[in-house]
Amino acid sequence: MPGLSFGKKICQWCVQHEAAQRGEEGEDAKQIVMPAPWVRRGQGSITLTQALLGANAMVFVAMVIASGSINEFPGQIRVHFGANFGPYTLSGDWWRLVTYMFLHGDFWHIAFNMWCLWDLGQLCESLYGRWTFAALYVIAGIAGGVASVGWNPYVNSVGASGAIFGLAGALIASFYLGEFSLPRAAIQGTLKSLVFFVGVNVVWGLFSSGTDNACHAGGLISGLILGALIARLAPDHGKPLPRSGILLFVFLLVGASALGVEHWRGASMRYRSAILAERNAARR
């Protein structure tokens, strides 16, 4: 569509069309077919979104084998595979803020999250690029984990939803602020769908006892911040340094928040972790 200039003063189709109107192009001139400007070449056939889906699926299969079921994995299995559980996370197992993103509670949990990741991940990866998308996903997921152990450290938190909410937040901020140089009419439908997705899941979480709302909120807020900063300060893909600076700044902000949560709840969590360790030793 000639109206979609995607940041250029005029697109190739418009150049050819105007040349034809001036009589500079013959009637048999070959029509230009332009690829979508967000499609990036040279990155291989497997996308990062597909790799994340595969990683989540493999971990789920391993949990099924370990538990012998696909329904509601026991807490012990979740913790063993790296769930975000306050007494362990805040006692030094900080790696759980990453591993929990690849674990899920049961079949329906992973099915819904992977459906969302497939849609939002493909869109986010195509628009932001592979490495920005990867950083967004990880930072939002960690932020969701920090919010979870801060709000309710005794929740045995698993799932990719914190990171997925971060992707939604980043896209909402970027579309609203116009980072992708698209006309408002071209993004209005997608923006409404994203807002609807977030709204429905927030309402659902309020009435669902098994939903980690703090994790969703942490991922969403961090995604909104990242998307807004990138849109305003580093929209150019060709200048990676400003964008890397923004990602590093937000990552450090999330890290500082984690240290604040550890200072707030760390003592009681270490005490609880010691009790759990004694109980586990007694069972052996």
Higher pLDDT, 32 or 24: 24
**Among residues of the chain, what percentage have pLDDT more than 70?**
79
Q: Is 65:138 a contact under the CB 8 Å cutoff?
A: no
- Specify the pLDDT at position 71: 85
Higher pLDDT, 238 or 34: 238
Residue 177 confidence class, pLDDT cut points 50, 70, 90:
confident
Residue 164 confidence class, pLDDT cut points 50, 70, 90:
very high
- In degrees to the nearest 10, what's the CA dihedral of 167, 168, 174, 176? -170
Give the pLDDT confidence of 58-86 residue by residue, as tens digits: 999 999 999 998 888 998 999 999 999 99
CA torsion through residues 140, 142, 146, 152, sign: positive
Residue 218 confidence class, pLDDT cut points 50, 70, 90:
very high
**What's the whole-number average pLDDT of the chain?**
84
By annotation, the residues acting in catalysis are 161, 216
Mean per-residue pLDDT, 210-229: 94
Higher pLDDT, 168 or 265: 168
> Closest Cα to residue 143, out of 237, 58, 251?
251
**Backbone phi, then psi, for 187, in 5-degree steps?**
-110, -5
Higher pLDDT, 214 or 34: 214
Structural domains for the chain: 1-34 (no CATH), 48-283 (1.20.1540.10)
- DSSP for 121-171, please give it: HHHHHHHH-HHHHHHHHHHHHHHHHHHHHHH-TTS-B--SHHHHHHHHHHH
pLDDT surpassing 70 at residue 93: yes
pLDDT surpassing 80 at residue 179: no
Provide the 8-state DSSP code for 158: -
pLDDT surpassing 70 at residue 54: yes
Tokens of 96: 């759980």
Higher pLDDT, 18 or 173: 173
The rounded distance, in Å, linking the Cα atoms of 86 and 90 is: 5
CA torsion through residues 22, 24, 30, 33, sign: negative
